[in-house]
């Protein structure tokens, strides 16, 4: 005999007589209990779906499919011409170029160039000592300092040297490419 049959038998043995009011209350309580169990059921179904091994596999498969779709739909990389590089560099107004040795993580040389201010600052590590050199084109001077706390020496620069520095500032290649002007690039080059 199962549990439900035992309850029915126990109720019959009680010989309880009910009226319409008691029946309505019992029915209302039963409907309320049914509603509550139905509301709780989707949460448990949702929990079963989320924790299911099949769901995990489906999620992994979806991620893999999306990755493949994005990978194969990505546009192919296009070659960049040398003239496009020169055009991009012509638009640069302020830049810092750092040079590294292959076995070091710190740059051995940094050059800050400002076309707007017409200045170039060189920071270089020479024999363990840091040297700063500032070429100030508008004031036609070259300032040098060893280490951050050392004295600053200032030197007036000749018109020819200032013209060279100004020309390197204005070319816009900043030493990033081997030719300062695209017009001097050999025709069979890259």
Q: What's the confidence (pLDDT) of residue 180? A: 67
**Residues 114-145: tens digit of each pLDDT:** 888 888 888 888 877 888 988 888 888 999 88
Residue 41 has pLDDT above 80, yes or no: no
**Residues 147-190: tens digit of each pLDDT:** 777 888 888 888 888 888 777 766 666 666 766 677 777 777 65
d(CA 75, CA 88): 22
Question: With contact defined as beta carbons under 8 Å apart, do 44 and 52 qualify?
Answer: no
What are the residues whose beta carbons fall under 8 Å from the beta carbon of 119, sequence distance 6 or more?
113, 134, 135, 136, 137, 138, 169
Task: Report helix, strand or coil for 75.
Answer: coil
Q: What's the confidence (pLDDT) of residue 150? A: 80
Q: What's the confidence (pLDDT) of residue 53? A: 64
More confident position, 42 or 123: 123
Question: With contact defined as beta carbons under 8 Å apart, do 82 and 182 qualify?
Answer: yes
Task: Report helix, strand or coil for 167.
Answer: helix
| H or E stretch at 82 | helix 82-90
Q: What's the confidence (pLDDT) of residue 37? A: 63
């Amino acid at each position: 005999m199962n549990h439900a049959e035992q309850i029915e038998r126990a109720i019959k043995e009680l010989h309880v007589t009910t009226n319409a009011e008691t029946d309505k209350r019992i029915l209302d309580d039963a409907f309320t209990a049914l509603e509550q169990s139905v509301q709780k059921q989707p949460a448990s179904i949702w929990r079963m779906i989320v924790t299911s091994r099949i769901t995990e596999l489906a999620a992994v498969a979806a991620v893999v499919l999306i990755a493949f779709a994005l990978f194969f739909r990505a546009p192919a990389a296009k070659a960049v011409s040398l003239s496009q590089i020169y055009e991009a560099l012509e638009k640069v107004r302020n830049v810092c170029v750092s040079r590294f040795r292959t076995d070091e993580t710190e740059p051995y040389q940094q050059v800050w160039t400002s076309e707007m201010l017409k200045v170039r600052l060189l920071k270089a590590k020479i024999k363990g000592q840091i040297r700063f050199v500032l070429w100030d084109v508008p004031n036609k001077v070259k300032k040098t300092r060893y280490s951050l706390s050392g004295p600053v020496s200032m030197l007036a620069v000749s018109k020819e040297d200032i013209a060279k520095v100004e020309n390197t500032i204005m070319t816009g290649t900043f030493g990033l490419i081997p030719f300062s002007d695209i017009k001097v690039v050999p025709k069979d080059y890259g």
